[in-house]
Structure formats: C-alpha cells, structure tokens
Structure 1
C-alpha cells in the first residue's frame, strides 16, 4: 500500500483530527483511501469516503464521540443513513508496538458482541477515542485496524490537525434514516436472502461487503 507523506505537529493537542486512511482488502477488491475526521466537541465526527470497486458507491462515516453515536451514509437503490450507538468492542491490551505515520502505536486485540475479531493499533499521542469506520473506545486514536476474517486492513497514511467544526453538510437531507437492525433486516430479506445458514452469517456478509 502506498503511503502519503504526513505533516504532523510536535505537540498534537487540537481536535478534531483529519486522518487520511488507506484500506486494502482481499478477494481482488483493490485498495482505496479514506478521509477520516473525528471530533470530541459535541458535533465532532468521523468522515470516510468509500473504497474502490464498491458496488454501493461512496460512504460517509460520522462519529459523535461525546454522544457515543455513529452514522453511516451510503447508497444502494436510494441514499440511506444508518444510525446507531458506537460499536461495543472488548479490547485486550498487548505489549506489541509499531510506528504508524510517525506515531508510536500499541496493539490491542478486540472482539465485537457478535464475535468479530479485530486487531487495532492506537496512539495515546492523539488523545481522541476514535478510529476507522465504526471502531473506537480506546485511550487514543486508532491508526491501524485489521479484520482478519474479512481480509480488511486500514492504515493511516497522513494525519493533520484542525480546529474546524464538522459541518452537517455531509448528510443528504433526503436520505432515509434507519437503525442498524432495521438495515440488516431490510437486506437479509432481499439481496442477501439465502446467503449463509443463519442471521449471524448474513449480518457478517453485510458488514464485510457493504458497511466496512
């Protein structure tokens, strides 16, 4: 994966952070970049552009860290905004460290409520509890995220700092809003019908092929 040259202050003490993230995935789906934006001041959020070769088009990820809420805007037949609480992950800390975009990051292993295994690298040098797509909940920004089962990798390639508020202009006013459970139910009963032997397997496929 190509890395972009980063410009970071020596004392990163402003928020939100604007992080350029590269994503790679298996299955021949190619690589893509994403702009992640995270804030801690009420309306702060995380934004991300969609990945390459994605039939669902561009996606926008928004995290309100103060309210612990997430929103994902995407388009299937129409634009949809999926609203839910931030993903609940149980993290286990390790003594492994690596440098990502000039920041010392510590490895943690995590598991979601539906037993999805995650590997994350976070840095306490950026004291914002955010990360790529739907992840967070650590004492610092996640700059690396691996989802082995889905062959997905996110790595920060550039970090910039700004004091600008996150504008709500990213949200399409005509988009249909629903919860994540409503979204899974909608797709499980249509385009993902018959895929997998259980609701959990269908949900995993929707996460891999659409949300992540």
Structure 2
C-alpha cells in the first residue's frame, strides 16, 4: 500500500514539475517544533547520521519480546525503504556530483544498519542482505526506485525534488509504523530515523531554495512540513540524556 501511495505521489510531482519549474508557496511559517514529544534517546547529528554503536548498546539492553505481524512487516519494509533512499542518492550523486547526495547517502547507510540491528535481534531474515544497488525484494519498492531514478536523471532540480519526496514519505511511513508498536527499541530506532529524515528534508528544501525553487509538500500536511523546514537542524544528545 505504501509503495502504491509513493507511486501516486510521484506521478503528481512529475506533473507539477512539467507545469512549472518553480512552485510558489503562500502558507505562513510556523514556529511549531517537529521534535518527538516522547523521551526516547536520540543519537543523530545534523547531517542525519546515527551513532550506531550507542544505538546497538541501547537495543541490546532491552528484552526481545514477541513481535506482532505488523511489527515484523514494518521492520522488513523499513530496511528496504532506507536502502531505497541510499541507493537513489548514490546514483544521483554519480549523475550530478552534488555533495548533498553523497553526504546523505552515507547517512542512509547508518539508517539501514540501525534497522538491521532490530532484524538481527528478532531473528528476521534481512531482505537487503544479498541485494545490490537498485535491487529490492519488495516489488512496489523496486518499481518506485526505477521511477525515482528516471525522474532524478532529468535535471539537478528534479533530483533534489526526488530527495525531498523520499524524505517526506519516510517520515510519514515511520509515523505509521510507530503507531503500530509498543516496543521501546523499535520506537527508538524509528524516532532516530525520523530525526534524520527531518534533517535531510531541510537540506533538500534548502538546496532547492538556493536555486530559486520553493518546494511544496507532496506527502506531509502543510503545517507539519512548515514546522520541520522552519525549525533548526536537530541533533541527539546521546543515550540516557533524552532528546
């Protein structure tokens, strides 16, 4: 279902780019903070990189309770979705040479590894283990990757919009998976991934604005999107210190 939603949004975004190279925004900025309201430890930096060593220690400190089917589905989906982000940014960096794609691709590596920690803890088979760049077991994510690459190869602006779209959708999907679990270790990883995605979204939107393009949200509600891009880059304070 999420893959299909992604494809629908991508179609809308492609149409919007065709109609106008620059999208104007009229909404009023908000000062609302997008930071999580819970007290899970956050271990990321402003580039979106996660401290996987600290995260691993925290995950290991919590018991491995039986997972629901929804929790299993979420972990298997998110490890491939994070890999999709890494792979798209890797290919777009090869095409355009923009440092933002290289930097965020490296960050996405820590995101993939963070989900893999949970797969290992709960004895789930990693669907990304034997897959190369641009290869996915989930057919909808495979189709999505192919379309995102096709779009991102058209121009630097299109490529940056692809990045923003990916990060919006990551945030939305993570919110949905968090609502389906009560496991503190899973929530902690997902909250850290969301913090990274918010920082990545800020970066892509900033790059577009520096080129005279005002990006309109394609997935997130406008108020939530504005709250993110109008607030500063986030950084975690480490384990045991709170967000």
Q: Please classify the TM superposition score into its range, dividing by the shorter chain length.
A: under 0.3
Q: Give the TM-score taking structure 1 as reference length.
A: 0.24
Q: Which has the higher contact order (CA 8 A, sep 6+)?
A: 2
| Structure showing the higher strand proportion among its residues | 1
Q: Give the TM-score taking structure 2 as reference length.
A: 0.22
